[in-house]
Amino acid sequence: MRTSVIQVVPIPSFIVDKTNLLIQNVNTKALSFLKAEKKQIINTLFTQYCKSKINHIGEFKDQIFYSFDKKSYTGTLYIQEYFGDSKVFIISFQPINNTGDNRFKNIFESASDGIIVTDKKLKILEVNPSFCEITAITKSEILGQSIFTLARKHADKKSLNGLLEYFSNLIGGEETSIYEIEHENKTLCISVNTKKCKNHYIGIIRDNTDFKTAINESEQKYRTLVEASNDSILIVQKGKIVFSNKSFYPTTGYSQNELLGKHIINFIPEKKQKEVIKIYNQVAQFRKTNQRFETIIINKQGDQFDIEATLIPINYLGEEAEQVVLKNTTRQKRAEIALKESEEKFKFLSESTFEGILVHKKGRVLDANDAFLKMTGFNRDEAINEQVLDYIPFAKDKAKILINIVKNNAKPYHVTVSKKNGERFIATLQAKNVMHKGQKVRIASVRDETENFKIKKNLEDSEQRYRTLFENTGTATCIIEKDNYISLSNHKFEELTGYSKSEIQNKKKWTDFIHPDDLSRMIHYQDKRLARKKGVPNQYEFQLIDKNNNTKDILVLVNMVANSSNRVASLLDISDRKKAENQLKKLNERLKRSKEKAEESDRLKSAFLANMSHEIRTPMNGILGFTDLLREPDLSGEEYNLYIDVIKRSGVRMLDTVNNLIDISKIETGQMETFTSKVNVNQELKGLFLFFEPEANNKGIQLKWVKRINDEEAIIHTDDQKLNSILTNLIKNAIKYSDSGIIEMGCTKIENNYLEFSVKDNGFGIPKSRLKSIFNRFEQVSNPSSKATEGSGLGLAISRAYVKMLGGKISAKSEIGKGSEFIFTIACNYQ
């Protein structure tokens, strides 16, 4: 057994007799190092190879070790007892350098981890090939450099400050732990021996990129295992529960909605609250060590349960949190009461754990609990005084135990264990040193992981089947996490979006693909779906934006993943169908507009004929009628002048109608031209005011002109006839459609060199439904206070056309019973 154990140790190792220091056995690494045959080494004095005197078991630094040809090598010497045999040592030697040209051994050169050696001031003395490969830095760039210079030159900016602080603490003699940085898209772990050697430090760097990727891919598997755990597992932030597995529900009697958001102290009796708060604050504030303690919880019905709680500081969703693991120990407490008269060793074991327990000293079993005996098939008499290594069939696992057994508190690790009947099972081992009955012993817990490994294998098989189905589905499919990141996507989704899986998975959010027009609606659906509210459609349409910024019409089917906040979205590209639908819709709209235009044209034609018949026949009848009256022989002078005045007004009305028809015809055929000249807007408004004031006063209306611009700004270049025609039409309409009140006109200069004109009246107003149509040809609004309204209905249509020709816009706002205001702008040209 001695031979098989030291053969798996990866450095030169010897088995040496304590009494005379003669070498009894040696591994192949030592033979290669000494360049000698085994028969030359066996029964020789170990002291001839080691310069220092061996006087007790322990670890010695900076020892001088000689090769067979007496070349000296500096290294680290490890000495410990061989388990189960107090007469011999296991001595291992880790070479560091020598006085010759060959400074490092094969183990240094071939190590998969990067190794770096520096002096006490962190000047780099040597590195192995793996260090250069992991960091992508050549050896010539490294040797002779200060570790601080190397860090500043090559470390990522976000890692630099922390890395420099880490090295400064190292020089200052502080305890250092494993430090993790990101470098060249890799996750690197750095570990430095904090115990100073005589002339140097030894650092180890490891590429953990694949390991971290595997952790992310396994997150869902671990979540499943957490849900399947018999222990209650909570995640707490600032004392409030943000996650709970299913095992906590039957224990407390509360539903998930009742648990989330509650403070954990609500479940603790008042007499225990101070104690629990103190322990919780220690973990939450210092975040270095786990805390395990016993307390009591209260369920919904008020019943109390004994529990064993473990508080573990973690990072959850980017924030500090605490994982709380609760074991219901109520039955255990009752059992302890029943077992008060049992031997102290059984009480000690039962209080420690329910797992298989071994108590041993230097590898020899002192005691074992029933769980371990049942697990292995041995009885207590067979187990006592046996060697721990006798349960381990494989040499590599024996080496694991030897490496971990020297640690005061070994973290869990896996080994294969043999049963009495020859069967084997995979076990998780965890051990620590404790004081028991006045002596230092080691407690080892053994957990049978066979079923868990089967579950893991089944989960992996199930996941593979799921991935096959997922990849071969006919639609673009993705899984959306609660935080909207896409954790999984198939190749159809890649084709649809234009992104590769590496660009999508855990890097792109679902909302990154949604068109802004649809984003608020989709977020509303998502929030209601996550809140498990009813009435949320699981199938609907939206617009997707791909990598090339193209917009695609998508029909999506969204379903929630069972017992999760994740969603599965299946997308179908319906862009071609929507395009065809839109083309058909546009065609129908064009047909509808053509029909309406034809009907409108027919209506306008009828309105035109009716209006023109009225507007021409009425003044013509007046002319003819009063011409006949002029032939009467006994007309007085007053009657004569009155008849002449009526004939003149009728002629002017007929001329206005003809001029309007000519103007609208020119406008519609594009024959209307503009003639620019210098115009004083203030003088133009003043002239119109003086012209229309008598007509307004005759109707009891006050015409008001408000001068809002100075004379310098009032002089512009524009078509004065068209400006005059626009204002004349608006003022005439204001007088025509008002019976009293005030008509106010004016002009204001606005931004971007525009003048804004306004004509405001207190007339009866225009219905909102007619505010746009009044600018159409032959459209008029009747004055309710008069029987008929004169005019061709062309004035506002002509005004709108003139305003457009002068570079502006015209609009109207009105309120029935309160009046109307017409506003138009024209471009200023000051030249």
Q: Give the count of beta carbons closer than 10 Å to the beta carbon of residue 435.
A: 8
Domain range summary for the chain, segments of one domain joined by +: 2-98, 111-214, 218-332, 339-453, 473-573, 579-642, 673-827
* Of residues 710 and 204, more confidently modeled: 710
In whole angstroms, what is the distance from residue 412 CA to residue 82 CA? 23
- Predicted local confidence at residue 316, as pLDDT: 77
pLDDT at 102 over 50: no
pLDDT averaged over the chain? 79
| Residue 741 pLDDT | 92
- Where is mean pLDDT largest: 196-210, 216-230, 474-488? 474-488
Higher pLDDT, 255 or 719: 719
Report the distance separating Cα 449 and Cα 426, nearest Å.
6
CATH 3.40.50.300 fits 339-453, yes or no: no
> Of the given ranges (359-363, 458-462, 622-626), which has the lowest mean pLDDT?
458-462
Q: Among residues of the chain, what percentage have pLDDT more than 90?
A: 12
Rounded to an integer, what distance in angstroms lies between the CA atom of residue 439 and that of residue 735?
Answer: 116
pLDDT at 107 over 60: no
Distance CA(515)–CA(415), nearest Å, equals 54
C-alpha span between 185 and 136 (Å, rounded)? 11
Q: pTM higher than 0.85, yes or no? A: no
More confident residue, 213 or 416: 416
Equal fold, 2-98 vs 673-827: no
pLDDT digits (tens, 9 = 90+) for 525-564: 888 888 888 888 889 899 999 999 999 998 899 988 888 8
DSSP 734-789: HHHT-SSEEEEEEEEEETTTEEEEEEE--SS---GGGTTGGGSTT-----TTSS--
Largest distance between two CA atoms of the chain: 169
- What is the signed CA dihedral for 595, 597, 603, 606, rounded to 10 degrees? -110
CA proximity to 446, closest of 353, 577, 326, 307 = 353
Most confident among 87-101, 195-209, 799-813 (mean pLDDT): 799-813
Q: List the single range of 429-443, 537-551, 561-575 with lowest mean pLDDT.
A: 429-443
Out of 3.40.50.300, 3.60.10.10, 3.30.565.10, 3.40.50.1820, the CATH code matching 673-827 is 3.30.565.10
Of the candidates 308, 307, 303, 272, the residue with the CA atom closest to the CA atom of residue 290: 308
Q: What is the CATH number of domain 111-214?
A: 3.30.450.20
Reply yes or no on whether the pLDDT at 701 is more than 60. Answer: yes
Residue 344 has what pLDDT? 58
pLDDT category, 32, cuts 50, 70, 90? confident
Which CATH architecture describes the domain 473-573? 2-Layer Sandwich (3.30)
Given CA atoms 403, 408, 414, 419 in this order, what sign does their dihedral have? positive
With CA atoms as reference, report the closest residue to 270 among 226, 304, 223. Answer: 304
**Locus of tokens 């025509």:** 736
Identify whether the C-beta of residue 259 lies closer than 8 Å to the C-beta of residue 249: yes
- Average pLDDT of the segment spanning 332-357: 58
CA distances, 413 to each of 141, 249, 289, 403, 445 (Å): 39, 31, 19, 11, 11
Say which CATH topology domain 218-332 has: Beta-Lactamase (3.30.450)
CATH of region 2-98, choose from 3.30.450.20, 3.40.50.1220, 2.40.50.140, 3.30.460.10? 3.30.450.20
pLDDT at 548: 93
Distance CA 802, CA 810 (A): 10
Tokens of 167: 């090295």
SS (H, E, C) 133-156: HHHCCCHHHHCCCEHHHHHHHHCC
pLDDT of residue 188: 74
Beta bridge partners of 555: 541, 572
